[in-house]
């Protein structure tokens, strides 16, 4: 780890003391991850056009305005994952079990996303929903096993708004955590339907969890704000800031009209990463609030399916809900900006939980 190496020179020059501070290293990781994606993405786009000239397929039943997106490179998520993993390794001090598990989650969920993206590009048909769900179950249970064995017992559910209130769920917590992980993974995937739509809300949520990680990993701050203290969890800030930098650089090329998509590789991996971070910090409800936009997207699909099943009619013109507004004739850029605003408000609400206790 580069941060550890540089910090070891602190006795020879006081400048290197900076690498002992999470705040400094988080800023470095954000800038470094931004530069990596920003510099490499144009070359990665060219490579995709060369080796995968067919690019992203577009659904026939989707909005007609999406037809011009046909063929857009769709593996931008690979570069995002690479940057997050690399900078987490470089700028984390005393690389802990927390970091290993979060990186494992990022790569594991990214793998199924990559297979799905590759099959769509190569064969115009992705992985079946059944296979994808089975894989998500397996990875989720494996990650929960690792957390329970090496970090903490997965039984307590902390409730926001109250001082030190938690509920002992026992084995039921596994079921709850499963819903959180699979739900988050698929929610971010569903939200990734318009140019730039999912990137900025993900930045907001990762920023929210960077703040929570910093506080919960510090015994003084967590005690003052009446939050549960989780030793060694502070370094999760580096994961969050690395993701923020990568996403901001990706958005440079993904903003309308998009030159590249993150694909399921990016959306599923980042959604899974967020869920595992929330579970490690015991802040699952914070994820539901900060990621309120993703929750809305999921519920719009759920409502559409249930309503159609009982009435044979559609409640929305198209689901997820961002396509509903497209069908109503609202320009794509306006929908994206408005959804960014909604996502930002949800994250502000989540941060307010720091004092509402």
Contact (Cβ atoms closer than 8 angstroms) between residue 237 and residue 27: no
Per the domain annotation, does 55 fall within a domain?
Answer: yes
Q: Which residue segment(s) compose the domain that 76 sits in?
A: 25-63+70-289
User: pLDDT (tens digit, 9 = 90+) per residue, 263-284?
Assistant: 999 999 999 999 999 999 999 9
Quick one: residue 96, left, alpha or beta (phi over 0 = left, psi -120 to 50 = alpha)?
beta
Residue 338 falls within a domain, yes or no? no
CA distance 183 to 177: 10
Q: Are 286 and 353 in contact (CB under 8 A)?
A: yes
Say whether pLDDT at 130 is over 80.
yes
Q: Is residue 45 part of a domain?
A: yes
Question: For residue range 194-214, what is the model confidence (pLDDT) as tens digits?
Answer: 999 999 999 999 999 999 999
Has residue 301 been placed in a domain?
Answer: no
pLDDT band at 138 (very low <50, low <70, confident <90, very high): very high
Instruction: Tell me the pLDDT band of 112, cut-offs 50, 70 and 90.
Output: very high
For residue 331, being part of any structural domain is answered with no
**How much is the pLDDT for 62?**
63
For the stretch 26-56, pLDDT in tens is 999 999 999 999 999 999 999 999 888 777 7
Report the SS3 class of residue 21: coil
Share of the chain above pLDDT 90, in %: 66
Alpha-helical (H) ranges within 94-198 are 97-123, 129-150, 172-191
- Is the peptide bond between 320 and the residue preceding it cis, with omega within 30 degrees of 0? yes
Q: What percent of the chain has pLDDT over 70?
A: 97
Residue 181 lies in a domain: yes
Dihedral sign from CA coordinates of 68, 42, 119, 134: negative
Classify residue 302: in a domain, yes or no: no
The pLDDT score that the predictor gives to residue 60 is: 63
Residue 18 lies in a domain: no
CA–CA distance, 37 with 39 (Å, rounded to integer): 6
Mean pLDDT taken over the chain: 90
Average pLDDT over residues 232-242: 93
Which token pair is 197? 């739509």
Give the pairing of strands 166-168 and 156-158: antiparallel
Q: What's the structural domain count of the chain?
A: 1
């Amino acid at each position: 780890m580069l941060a550890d190496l540089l910090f070891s020179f602190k006795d020879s020059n006081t400048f290197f003391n900076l690498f002992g501070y999470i705040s400094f290293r988080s800023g470095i990781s954000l800038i470094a991850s931004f530069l990596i994606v920003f510099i490499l993405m144009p070359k990665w786009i060219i490579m995709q056009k060369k080796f995968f000239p067919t690019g992203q397929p577009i659904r026939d039943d989707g909005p007609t305005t999406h037809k011009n997106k046909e063929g857009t490179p769709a593996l931008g998520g690979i570069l995002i994952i690479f940057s997050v993993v690399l900078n987490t390794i470089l700028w984390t001090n005393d690389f802990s079990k927390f970091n290993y598990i979060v990186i494992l989650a990022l790569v594991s969920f990214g793998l199924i996303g990559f297979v799905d993206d590759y099959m769509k590009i190569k064969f115009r048909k992705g992985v079946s929903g059944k296979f994808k769900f089975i894989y998500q179950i397996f990875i989720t249970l494996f990650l929960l096993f690792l957390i329970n064995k090496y970090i903490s017992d997965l039984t307590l559910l902390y409730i926001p708004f109250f001082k030190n209130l938690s509920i002992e769920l026992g084995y039921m917590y596994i079921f709850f955590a499963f819903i959180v992980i699979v739900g988050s993974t698929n929610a971010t995937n569903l939200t990734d339907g318009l140019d730039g739509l999912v990137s900025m809300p993900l930045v907001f949520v990762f920023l929210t969890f960077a703040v929570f990680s910093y506080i919960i990993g510090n015994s003084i701050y967590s005690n003052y704000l009446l939050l549960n203290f989780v030793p060694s969890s502070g370094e999760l800030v580096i994961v969050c800031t690395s993701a923020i930098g990568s996403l901001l650089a990706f958005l440079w090329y993904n903003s309308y009209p998009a030159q590249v998509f993150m694909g399921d590789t990016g959306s599923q991996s980042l959604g899974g990463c967020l869920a595992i971070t929330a579970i490690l910090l015991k802040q699952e409800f914070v994820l539901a609030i900060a990621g309120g936009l993703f929750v809305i997207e999921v519920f719009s699909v759920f409502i559409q399916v249930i309503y159609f099943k009982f009435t044979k009619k559609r409640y929305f013109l198209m689901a997820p809900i961002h396509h509903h507004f497209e069908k109503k004739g609202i320009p794509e850029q306006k929908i994206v900006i408005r959804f960014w605003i909604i996502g930002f408000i949800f994250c502000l609400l989540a941060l307010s939980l720091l004092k509402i206790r």
